[in-house]
Amino acid sequence: MYKRYLVLILIIFSFDINAQSIIGNVANKEKEPIPFATVAVKGSNIGTSANNEGNYFLKLANGNYEVIISAVGYKQAIKSIIVNANNMVLNFQLEPELYELKDVIVNATGKDPAYAIIKKAINKRKGHLTETPAYTCKVYIKGVQKLLKAPEKFLGRDIGEVAKQAGLDSNRTGIVYQSESQSILNYLPPNNYQEEMISSKVAGSNRAFSFNRATELLLNFYENYQNWDGISNRPFVSPIADNALFYYDYKLIGSTLENGELINKIQLIPKRKYDPAYRGYIYIVENSWRIHSTDFLMTKESNITLIDSLKINQKFIPIKQNWMPASVAFEFKGGLFSFKFGGYFLGIYTDYDFKPTKPIKNFKEVLKITKDVNKKDDEYWSNERPIPLTKEEKVNYVKKDSIAKKRESKPYLDSLDKVNNKLKFSKIFLGGYQPRNRFKKEYYNFDGLLSSVHFNTVEGFAINYGASYSKRIDTINNRNFTWNGHLRYGFSNKLFSANTGFTIPILKKQSLSFLLGSDVVDLNNNGSINILGNTFNSLFFEKNYMKLYRKQLVQVGFNSQIAGGLNGSLTLFYNDNNWLANTTTYKFIDDKEIEFTSNNPFQPLSSQPLFVQHQTFKAKISLRYNFSNKYVTYPTGRFYLPSKWPVLNFNYIKAIPNIFGSDTDFDQLSLRISKPNIKFGFYGKFSFATEAGAFINTNNIFYPDFKHFTGNKALAFTPADNQFLFLDFYKFNTANKYFEAHLEHNFSGFFSNKIPLVRKLKLQELVGINYLASNELTNYRELYVGLAFTGLKVYYGFVYNRKEKIDSGFRIAYGF
């Protein structure tokens, strides 16, 4: 108890002596705090919430009030008070709510009375979904994430030292993230929201902006289902969804009167443990059949990911005949390896105005955050914060702010850089060396020597050594000047190449890039097998998949956001291209039945050059349009959100002859339409990408400037956009008309979650088709099924050209 009163004393002394505030604690009969209890003033929209220790405060002008305290599972308490010039301590001790079962009639089917209530709520669902009028309100959000348990060491690293630098205690536990924010939320039916963040505070950083978003806390159980992206592969079914009876059993716990309304408490029991259904209780108002409050729980039994459990507590209050959210709290716990974590996010809705004096007309701006949002001082937060901080949270602010100031000092940053910048054998030869000067915001990277070595039949053993430099030149917009360079040498063909380039931001949303030098590159400009895979296959299996040529180049590019969701770029290229022949047949294992193929994919047994040496000067114009007119405004600028419509990409390439000795002359047009992750509710998500293109002029064109497709011939590969699973890397690239399509549906565990034991793997079922039509391939199709699991995808596919089956087999994609 002494701790609770200590917190109250600290709260009292944190206020201005002239402020009129009610301060108190909400507890149960056992004097245990009731977290996140709702505190409201009867007959007004003034209210707040208790914190997770049950402490609250409420600022009121002088006058007579009735203060109502309510919490899910407890009887509502009302106290009449008189507010004068002095602060007031007003504690509440809530009694458990007694939900009585009166006049229970069980029908002939033996159904619990809860079913009749739920069916009425389902019938009213659509009406309640659309009845909310336009409004403006203030939303306060607090987020706290804690490390609850951590090992002393992990992967050879001293976690105690890391925890100390992060401001955690000697047991490697404590708050790792703490933030608060206040926003003005505007709503216009049916589903238009506009949010303006007016204050933001993040422990340990006076420049960061809170991740809190009022719109991300919006959770509407009048919708048939709720998407929990990142937590569940499948949406969860609302207890009052149209098909809820297929997922839930219900039990009426009882009913109680609150403010003249009869509130029914109904227990939710998933019919099947593995279904995407909530556990816990829903409270339904008699006669109107609205949701009064929720006390839901999501657990690992329902196959959620990342966390072990998520508790959802939502409370509604009647304001001018409209039932509006008063508060919502998310409490979570989870673990990964030997780490345990937990925390909560709390949102409090106040100051509802159903006839705002300045209605928002432009709902295209979904979120607005200005540069001064995070500049509010402690006095501001003491006056505006609607719920008190816990003692731990107060200490954390002080500690993290102190650590932040230390971390920003030159001596501290220099000391960290001194440790990081030490030269080690493992860095030089294996992982690479990354010295830095964090005070000047300068970062360097030097590749590892051994990791730069590879093998191919053109160069033999070769080294491709790279270095890069990055300098933050625009701290407000987080934009960098970057430079990179590469040195390459083939020990068999004795060929040396070098190139360098840079990218520099100009104006506000433009950048300029430049590249100069020479390199040995893949004949397929989309890439083929990766370097390590080609090295392994060449040395051990005599399969030299990768085909190369040498390019001397000058490249200048300009990128810009043109307007709204329209972005464009202009790039000028000058290349001197030279075909290369194999110079070695070296291998570790010699299979007498297999021989290396030549570097000409069309004549694998001959060293006939694929093309003659030639020069190319060309210009490429690219336009990308996102149909969305919704955007967010940050201090760094305006950013458009993904649209519900597909994205269009248009490209035009013009090769111009006789400029700088250019030999090529062609025109190429292409249009790509794509849209990932189109949601189909319980049935997963669908993605597609289609592209059509044509060469409208091919007066003179060589193979490197053909339209190249992303093929694959390896069993295991790193996935890329518009990837074919079985297509040859080189043979079917074209200088004519073409059309390609990639369609995939992810069932997000719809089938595998119904299989015992298998469901624990959280697999996602895939089915798709890749299609290509060109002069070289009339009707090429890849049909496949597969399973996805945490960055790994396993496919089995069938390949057809026209009506002929030409291939089949497994493929494994790895990487995110």
- CATH number of the domain residue 81 falls in: 2.60.40.10
10 and 63: one domain? yes
Residues 284 and 171 in one domain: yes
Mean pLDDT computed over 513-524 = 97
| Lowest mean pLDDT across 150-154, 358-362, 663-667, 678-682 | 358-362
From 324, 350, 376, the end of a domain falls on 376
pLDDT one-digit tens code per residue, 91-102: 888 888 777 776
528 pLDDT higher than 90: yes
**Residue 586 falls inside a structural domain:** no
448 lies in some domain: no
DSSP code for 25: E
pLDDT tens digit sequence for 160-204: 777 777 778 888 888 988 999 999 999 988 888 999 999 998 888
Whether the per-residue pLDDT at 14 is higher than 50: the answer is no
Q: Please identify, among 376, 410, 437, the residue that sits at the C-terminal boundary of a domain.
A: 376
Let me know whether 66 and 142 are in one domain. Answer: no
What lies within 8 Å, CB to CB, of 756 at 6+ separation is none
Same domain, 149 and 77: no
Tokens 């589903």 belong to residue: 191
Asked if 227 and 275 sit in the same domain, the reply is yes
Q: What angle do CA 794, 740, 562 make, to 5 degrees?
A: 105
> In this predicted structure, what is the pLDDT of residue 633?
85
Predicted local confidence at residue 686, as pLDDT: 96
Question: What is the average pLDDT score of the chain?
Answer: 88
- Overall average pLDDT of the 504-520 stretch: 91
Same domain, 84 and 141: no
Give the total number of structural domains in the chain.
2
In this structure, the answer to whether residues 280 and 148 fall within a common structural domain is yes
Strands (E) in 422-565, as ranges, are 436-437, 442-446, 453-456, 460-474, 479-490, 496-506, 510-522, 548-563
Question: pLDDT > 70: what percent of the chain?
Answer: 94
**Residue 3: predicted pLDDT:** 35
Residue 335 covered by a domain: yes
Phi and psi angles of residue 490, each rounded to the nearest 5 degrees, phi first: -100, 125
Token code pair at residue 242:
């149209």
DSSP 416: H
Helical pair 410-420 and 391-408, crossing angle rounded to 10 deg: 80
Is residue 230 very low, low, confident or very high in pLDDT (cuts 50, 70, 90)?
confident
pLDDT band of 108, cuts 50, 70, 90:
low
User: How much of the chain exceeds pLDDT 90, in percent?
Assistant: 53
- Is the CA virtual torsion 424, 429, 431, 434 positive or negative? positive
Residue finishing a domain among 77, 93, 109: 93
The answer as to whether 452 is a domain residue is no
Q: Which of the pair, 14 or 583, is modelled with greater confidence?
A: 583
pTM, full prediction: 0.84
For residue 96 the two structure tokens come to 């458990």
Name the more confident of 633 and 598: 598
164 and 270 in a single domain? The answer is yes
> Is 318 contained in some domain?
yes
Shared domain for 86 and 128, answered yes or no, is no
Q: Is residue 253 part of a domain?
A: yes
3 state SS for 163-220: HHHCCCCCCCCEEEEEEEEEEEEEEECCCEEEEEEEEEEECCECCCCCCCCHHHHCCC
| Per-residue pLDDT tens digits for 331-345 | 999 988 888 999 999
Q: 245 and 352: one domain?
A: yes
Residues 290 and 189 in one domain: yes
In this predicted structure, the answer to whether residue 453 has a pLDDT above a threshold of 80 is yes
Q: Angle of helix 2-13 relative to helix 391-408, nearest 10 degrees?
A: 60
413 band by pLDDT with thresholds 50, 70 and 90: confident
Domain that holds residue 289: 118-376
| Tokens (6 digits) for 580 | 């290369």
161 and 71 within one domain: no
- For 84, counting Cβ atoms within 10 Å of its Cβ (0-12 exposed, 13-18 middle, 19+ buried), the class is exposed
By three-state DSSP, how is residue 400 classified? helix
**Which residues, listed in sequence order, are joined to residue 264 by a DSSP beta bridge?**
255, 284
- What does the pLDDT read at residue 103? 58
pLDDT score of 109 more than 70: no
Per-residue pLDDT, averaged over 543-553, amounts to 96
Q: Residue 17: its pLDDT value, please?
A: 36
Q: Report the C-alpha gap between 177 and 739 in whole angstroms.
A: 49
- Domain membership flag for residue 66: yes
What's the pLDDT tens digit per position in 610-651?
999 999 999 999 999 998 888 888 877 778 888 889 999 999
For the stretch 775-816, pLDDT in tens is 989 899 999 999 998 889 999 999 999 889 999 999 999 876
**Does any domain span residue 144?**
yes
- pLDDT of res. 337: 81
| 105: confidence class by pLDDT, cuts 50, 70, 90 | low
Q: Count CB atoms within 10 A of the CB of residue 29.
A: 10
- The string of DSSP letters for 456-479 reads ETTTEEEEEEEEEEEEEEETTTTE
For residue 107, is pLDDT > 80? no
Three-class SS state of 162: helix
- The residue-averaged pLDDT of 125-140 equals 92
